[in-house]
């Protein structure tokens, strides 16, 4: 059977901040319908990788292809069309404090050309229902707990019906019950919406719960990539050290 073409293909990516090199020849592929978990220590560039994919940061070199189309160097019009197919769940939810939940949810719909207010209201309600938070449209972000804010951020990301969702540390700062709730939501959206996902996390329990494959980002490259089962049985000292939390010992 012929392997499917990747939805996203990153090749020889280079990114620096001043003299500090973040990526130097990073390569990774993401396939239709899978959840790829990007693992790595603090400061290794996991979130930077997502921001390069979504166009919030520009690399200095290399290629990022989405559905076979080059992202790096696109003009604004080309990027706007492609951006409709990718949702981004920010680490801190990134809700606008001055807007209600409805305002936050409807904002990406307006920017993507939605004008019918009844359809917008129906889509907001539908997405809030999907994340288990119906009827909270009138609430302000300050009235929401951390877990609720994360779920609203997730609902906002799926409002535009993306084919790919990028999650930046989706469970950071949450209590165990909310961590489990977010993990279940990630799996639910993959199953029900058939989305392809990249999840950045350092939480190994969450990684094993939501992931289909792991990619370990270390020393400015993806140094190991494999399925969850391959990660569990790997004898690679870097993989074992990261999974077991003993990386500083190897």
CA 136 to CA 59: how far, in whole Å?
A: 39
Is residue 249 predicted with pLDDT exceeding 50? no
Backbone angles phi, psi at 183, to 5 degrees: -60, -45
pLDDT of the residue at 2? 63
Residue 246's beta-bridge partner residues? none
Q: How confident is the model at residue 250 (pLDDT cuts 50, 70, 90)?
A: very low
User: What residue ranges do the domains of the chain occupy?
Assistant: 8-85+163-249, 96-161
Strands 86-89 and 221-227: unpaired
CATH number of the domain at 8-85+163-249, out of 3.40.50.300, 3.40.630.30, 3.30.70.20, 3.40.50.20? Answer: 3.40.50.300
Is 23 within 8 Å of 45 (Cβ atoms)? yes
**Coil, helix or strand at residue 129:** helix
CA 229 to CA 30: how far, in whole Å?
A: 17
pLDDT of the residue at 82? 79
CA 108 to CA 189: how far, in whole Å?
A: 19
Q: Quote the pTM value.
A: 0.89
Backbone angles phi, psi at 60, to 5 degrees: -85, -15
- Mean pLDDT of the region 83-111: 87
Sign (positive or negative) of CA dihedral 216, 209, 192, 154: negative
């Amino acid at each position: 059977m012929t392997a499917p073409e990747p939805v996203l293909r990153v090749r020889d990516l280079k990114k620096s901040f001043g003299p500090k090199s973040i990526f130097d020849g990073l390569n990774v592929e993401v396939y239709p319908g899978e959840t790829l978990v990007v693992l790595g220590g603090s400061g290794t560039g996991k979130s930077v990788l997502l921001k390069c994919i979504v166009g919030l940061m520009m690399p200095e070199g290399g290629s990022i292809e989405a559905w076979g189309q080059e992202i790096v160097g696109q003009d604004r019009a080309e990027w706007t069309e492609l951006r409709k197919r990718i949702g981004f769940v920010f680490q801190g939810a990134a809700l606008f404090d001055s807007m209600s939940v409805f305002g936050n949810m409807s904002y990406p719909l307006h920017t993507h050309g939605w004008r019918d207010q009844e359809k917008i209201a129906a889509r907001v309600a539908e997405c809030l229902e999907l994340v288990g938070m119906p009827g909270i449209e009138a609430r302000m972000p300050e009235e929401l707990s951390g877990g609720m804010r994360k779920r609203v951020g997730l609902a906002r990301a799926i409002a535009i019906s993306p084919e790919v969702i990028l999650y930046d540390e989706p469970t950071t700062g949450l209590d165990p019950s909310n961590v489990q709730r977010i993990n279940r939501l990630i799996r639910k959206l993959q199953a029900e919406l058939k989305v392809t996902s990249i999840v950045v996390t350092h939480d190994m329990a969450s990684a094993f719960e939501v992931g289909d494959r792991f990619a370990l980002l270390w020393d400015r490259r993806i140094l190991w990539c494999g399925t969850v089962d391959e990660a569990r049985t790997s004898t690679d000292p870097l993989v074992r050290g990261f999974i077991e939390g003993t990386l500083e010992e190897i």
